[in-house]
Amino acid sequence: MQGSRFAFGPFVLDPGAGTLLRNDVPVAVGYRGLSLLAALVGRPGEILGKAELMDAAWPGTAVEEGNLTVQIAQLRKLLGPVGENGEWISTVPRVGYRFTGAVEQLGEAKRKPLPLPDKPSIAVLPFVNFSNDPEQDSFVDGLTEDLITDLSRISGLFVIARNSTFAYKGKAMDVREIAGDLGVRYLLEGSARRAAGRVRINAQLVDAVSGDHLWAERFDRGLDDIFAVQDEVTAKIVEALLGRLRAPPPRNRPSNLEAYDLCVRARKLIDDSPQMAQEAHLMLTRAVSLDPDYAEPYRWLAMNHWMGRVHWGGPTEAARSVALELARKAVAIDPNDAGCRWILAYLLAYERSFTEADAEFAKAIELDPNEADTWAALSDIAVLAGRVEEGLEHIGKAFRLNPFPASWYYLTLGQAQYAARDYQAAIETLRRDETYRTSSRRFLAASLAQLGRLDEARAEAELFLVGNPHFTTHHWATTEPFRDAATLEHFVDGFRKAGLPE
């Protein structure tokens, strides 16, 4: 439901934010009602059939037509009359409904600029592929990602995560607008071209507040020097922003560029779909065979094994064991890689090796305090340990470093809000387009149930079970890394009230 806002009478509907305002005051409207209103208001004057409206409010679910009638009646009561006797929503007998009011499309609400951190803050925008070969896109993206990683490891900097900067790929926008969206002062822009065994890179550092170019340089090197160029760019930026280089421990670099290319391509496919996970697995396995002393493919193989086998079916215990072994291998090869460390920490928590997991999380943060995924994963583990306020703080840090994150951040935030008994906030989080998917619905159902909205809760529980037909609360409770009995019971209570299987 992302996109424009709509004004009609005293109301402003923002489907993307899931809000309805009357004279700037929020109106309490349920998700189904909001979905129906968005469908009707989005096409004012048109007749929308009952089947179309039911699909908008109950996607993928067979429901009685009476449910639609009830929701429309509730909307009419909530909106009130138009003028003396008119209605915002008219019935077209035996066909459907029509929105009769005048609607003004307002466009998307502007994001409020994020405040600047108390240390130099930077975002690395996706470098432009200046090659005539679109196949080089992955290489150029990998260059951008590596620069983000290298800068992120400098403790004196605040560095925005890759997921958020890549939201701007291919978009022509003013640097001030981008910097405001991301809450940073500095932007690194650039382009790259790879051809005939050489790589040409142009990079420039911009102060988005003043518009000044602080540093710019062009590199024309042999392809074998690509990682030396990355180190040089990082050093120049750190020198410009901090005045000196606080060199972090050296990173493990590949000795085989084909292995590097395979990793860059594979990490875009992980957590996408079972088919993409299998393709990523083949790429990463090939990368390991080409460069067995390169840590990154082991790291992503561990995560891919965990996501692809555990969350998409397969022999769970065997998958966890293999994933843990791969993560340990990655850390053994590159103990200075925070990404390898947090993945190992997360898997150790699921093995209930909590002391070792806590130590690995601490080491990951020490190595790279800007690694947003570490904070998000740590939030999940902290909440299940009963440290709910700590978990909320961690996921807050993750969102600040990664304002446009992957969907699992929203699931993690919603879980933390549920644990904090802030059920309405959890509902709003888990119903965002970014995360409204099968795996989040168990927490959404529990939150609705705790507020007594049992019909909505049971509908969400049914949708969750469509994608997870073998789910039981008991199995979930015994496999998640809980360390606090009261927190566990709180989740179980919500699942039970929502009607999820025992």
Print the SS3 string covering 284-326.
HHHHHHHCCCCHHHHHHHHHHHHHHHHHCCCCHHHHHHHHHHH
284-320 residue pLDDT tens = 999 999 999 999 999 999 988 887 554 544 446 677 8
Q: Identify the domain boundary among 53, 80, 107.
A: 107
Contacts of residues 106-112 at CB distance under 8 Å and 24 or more positions apart, as own/partner, are 106/4, 106/5, 106/6, 106/7, 106/12, 107/4, 107/5, 108/3, 108/4, 108/5, 108/16, 109/5, 109/14, 109/16, 109/17, 111/180, 111/181
In a domain, 273, yes or no: no
Number of alpha carbons in the 13 Å side-chain half-sphere of residue 128: 11
Residues 9 and 101 both lie in one domain: yes
Q: Which amino acid appears at position 445 of this protein?
A: A
Residue 113 CB contacts under 8 Å (≥ 6 apart), including other chains: 180, 181, 183
Question: What pLDDT shows up at residue 2?
Answer: 43
CB 31 within 8 A of CB 456: yes
**CA geometry: angle 229, 233, 235, nearest 5 deg:** 115
Q: Which domain holds residue 93?
A: 5-107
SS3 string, 64-95, reads CHHHHHHHHHHHHHHHCEECCCEECEEEECCC
What's the rounded Cα separation, in Å, for the pair 372 and 164?
A: 11
Tokens 């594979």 locate to: 266
* pLDDT above 70 coverage of the chain, percent: 91
What would the pLDDT profile of 4-50 be if each residue is shown by its tens digit?
788 998 888 888 766 788 877 767 677 778 889 999 998 998 999 98
Nearest-CA neighbor of 310 among 432, 460, 481?
481
Classify 24 in phi/psi space as left (phi over 0), alpha (psi -120 to 50) or beta: left
Rg of the chain over Cα atoms, rounded to whole angstroms, equals 25
Whether residues 10 and 127 share a domain: the answer is no
Q: Return the DSSP state at 4.
A: -
Whether residue 249 contacts residue 366, with contact meaning beta carbons closer than 8 Å, is answered with no
CATH number for the domain spanning 21: value is 1.10.10.10
Per-residue model confidence (pLDDT) at position 389: 96
**Domain contains 349:** no
Looking up residue 409, the CATH number of its domain turns out to be: 1.25.40.10
Verify that 95 and 133 share a domain, yes or no: no
Does 218 reside within a domain? yes
Please give the tally of structural domains in the chain: 3
Distance CA 219, CA 470 (A): 55
What is the domain-level CATH number for residue 218? 3.40.50.10610
Is 99 a member of any domain? yes
Task: Give the pLDDT score at 312.
Answer: 45
Cβ neighbours, 10 Å, residue 390: 14
What pLDDT digit, counting tens, does each position of 63-78 carry? 778 888 888 988 888 8
Q: What is the mean pLDDT of the chain?
A: 87
State the average pLDDT over residues 173-193. Answer: 90
The DSSP bridge pattern shows strands 198-207 and 186-195 to be: antiparallel
Residues 377 and 500 in one domain: yes
Find out whether 298 and 330 touch, Cβ atoms under 8 Å: yes
pLDDT of 108 over the 80 cut: no
Amino acid at 247: A
Are 440 and 410 in contact by the 8 Å Cβ rule? The answer is yes
Reduced DSSP (H G I as helix, E B as strand, rest coil) percent helix, strand, coil of the chain, to 5: 55, 15, 30
> Pick from 102, 94, 144: which is nearest to 10 by CA?
102
Residue 276 placed within a domain: no
- Final residue belonging to a domain, choices 177, 207, 242: 242
- Range in 26-35, 80-89, 97-106 with the lowest mean pLDDT: 26-35
